[in-house]
Structure 1
Amino acid sequence: MAYKSITTFVSSAAELEITLPPAIDFAERQDAHLSACLLGVDMTPAGGFYMGASPLLLQETLERAQADAESLEAQARKKLDRSGLRWSAESAVVQFGGLPGLVGLRARFSDLVIQVRPYGREALPTQEAAIEAALFEGQSATLIVPETGLGPDFGKRIVVAWNQSNEALNAVRRALPLLKQADLVNIVVVNPPVHSPERSDPGGLLTQMLARHGVRAEVSVLAKTLPRVSDVLMRHIADTSASLLVMGAYGHSRLREAILGGATRNVLENSETPVFLAH
């Protein structure tokens, strides 16, 4: 498998400036087609306006969303025209509550979705919603890029967060084209369970599977010496100068992670390294 159909979803001019350059960079590296979906999002609450409100107000919000989408499409086309890529760009207007359906439909026919990190001072609610929609409704692997972009060493040293879950295994399978191109893949197991089926050889079966694909992989078993598993992962990434983290997304429910936190949310909030996710 190769990444030949890549999609990105953008809903603001600031997000466009951060998201499109690394998406173009990645598509060029993979000789892939890049589809940019430029969104005008109507943030009207799901219940709409209160009874008796003028229909002109609803029309105004829709027209504003349409204008935003068309403006973003024009900006995106200028950038893509200069890239030399095979590309397409289209604008779409959607209410915030309908965003998962629109993103999911387009993401499910993509090999990979590329989005910017969804947390920070300038982040919009649509950014997190688009990522979750791509992962859940679209069942697409998603590459989350920090504001600094991919970096010159992207994909040379990769850390795989391995906890034997279905989500982690799916992420490894979807990331296989990148793993095969890497100089070194480091499978990281944090505090392996004592009674796990892999207790005698943590990560051994995964290493064996990857070796048959020509992937150079090694295993690091780490103690949870910091409060969160995500902290251990990010410290290890820094210590080994890794340029990509591959991990399963949302092993717990999205609601639980939103309220109590979790490895996926904590990594996305704090990582300065690109993160490859699959659910």
Structure 2
Amino acid sequence: MNTYPEAASDDAIRGAISFAGALGCKVHVTTFAVQFPPVPSPIGGYLINVEGLSRAAEARSRAECERLQALVETAGGSGVEVSVTRQDVVVGQVPTIAAAEGRYFDLSLVLWSAESFATQEMAQAMIFGSGLPVILVPPNATAGTVDHIAIAWDESRVAARALRDALQILPTGGRISVLTVQDEKTLRRTGLAQTLVSSLDLRGYEAKAVDLTLDGRSIAASLQDTALAEGAQLLAMGGFGHSRIRDFILGGATKGVLTDLRMPVLLAH
């Protein structure tokens, strides 16, 4: 969880802890307190107290870490086992350090806010840099259990990765809705959803094929709307994108989810 320039909302934090409980997970939370390197600016120092502003921002970030720790521990009191640590990180390096931190665990939950650039930057770093399945959790996430997942299936490598990751958290007897968009791009063959359903049936899963069309909606909205209509508590999909220094070129579905998150979404890259 980032604390600078702003932290995720308290509702988002509670929602993520609750969703982790629905997955049956133990939760490790890392908060990041930012540090500002000294800025040599003798002339600017007469105009603005850069050093003083930096130290004040560091103090606010540390205080926010302490507040978030208390909030997380309280949220975990409902039966979710929670541990919290703090890392002090140079400002601007939080997403990179978070991606490395995530590699020590099975999956990462990323708090989401469409209004927070820091949250979006964290999500992109985790999706494309951690090597882990990442679940974006909206503030309104509620789930008593996660026993029905939807998979966005187009036969691609990243879709297969997302399916594998999602199956790891699906409990025995859980259901799978296989979603294939028919009019978004040229597919290699027809019947992709049903082909995957047949494969899942052979492996003992209860699966259903769902073909859908965009009908004027974005692909991200279409997939999420259909997943929710089918009763899924989680949508799994491949994350398309690559980085140029710190800028991300995103595929349409990935970009759509990152700007219009309607349900918990597992993204694998």
TM-score by length of 2: 0.80
1:106 aligns with 2:106: no
Q: State how far apart, in whole Å, the 1-side matches of 2:38 and 2:196 are.
A: 50
Letter in 2 for 1:73: Q
User: Are the structure 2 counterparts of residues 48 and 227 from structure 1 closer, same or farther at C-alpha, using a change threshold of 3 Å?
Assistant: farther
Pairwise CA distance, 1:186: 1.4
Distance 1:229 1:182, change over 3 A: farther
Residue 239 of structure 2 corresponds to which residue in structure 1?
249
* 2:142 alignment partner AA: L
Which consecutive unaligned segments of at least 5 residues does structure 1 have? 1-8
Look up the match of 1:23: 16
1:144 aligns with 2:136: yes
Asked if 2 retains the 8 angstrom alpha-carbon contact of 1:190 and 1:222, the reply is yes
Cα offset, 1:189, TM superposition: 1.1
Q: Which residue of 2 aligns with 1:68?
A: 64
How much does 1:233 deviate?
1.7
Residues 13 and 139 in structure 2, CA contact (< 8 A), matched pair in contact too: no
- Could you tell me which residue of structure 1 aligns to residue 119 of structure 2? 127
Cα contact 1:107–1:113 (8 A) shared by 2: yes
TM-score, scaled relative to structure 1: 0.77
1:252–1:262 contact (8 Å) kept in structure 2: no
1:145 & 1:101 partners in 2: Cα distance? Answer: 20
- 8 A Cα contact 1:141 1:278, kept in partner: yes
3-state SS in 1 of match to 2:249: helix
Superposition deviation, residue 157 in structure 1: 3.4
Q: CA deviation at 1:161?
A: 0.7
Structure 2 gap segments, 5+ residues each = none
5 Å-filtered alignment, 1:117-266, equals: 117-119=112-114, 123-152=115-144, 154-181=145-172, 183-191=174-182, 196=188, 199-251=189-241, 255-257=248-250, 262-266=252-256
Asked if 2 retains the 8 angstrom alpha-carbon contact of 1:18 and 1:116, the reply is: no
**What's the offset of the Cα at 1:256?**
3.0
Deviation per CA, 1:92-139: give whole Å up to 9, x if none: 2334420122201211111111123231xxx32221122122222211
CA RMSD between the two structures: 3.0
**Are residues 219 and 102 of structure 1, via their aligned partners in 2, closer, same or farther at CA, if it must alter by over 3 Å?**
same
Poorly superposed stretches of 4+, deviation over 4 Å:
47-50, 180-183, 192-195, 251-254
Aligned length: 258
Inter-CA distance 114–194: structure 2 relative to 1 (3 Å threshold): closer
Q: How does 1:21-100 map to 2 (within 5 A)?
A: 21-41=14-34, 49=39, 51-52=41-42, 53=45, 55-80=51-76, 82-100=77-95
Shift of 1:172: 0.7
Q: Provide the C-alpha distance between the structure 2 equivalents of 1:30 and 1:185, rounded to a whole number of angstroms.
A: 15
Change in 2 beyond 3 A, CA 1:238/1:88: closer
Instruction: Look up the equivalent residue of 2:28 and give its one-letter code.
Output: S
Taking the aligned partners of 1:203 and 1:48, their CA distance within structure 2 comes to: 56
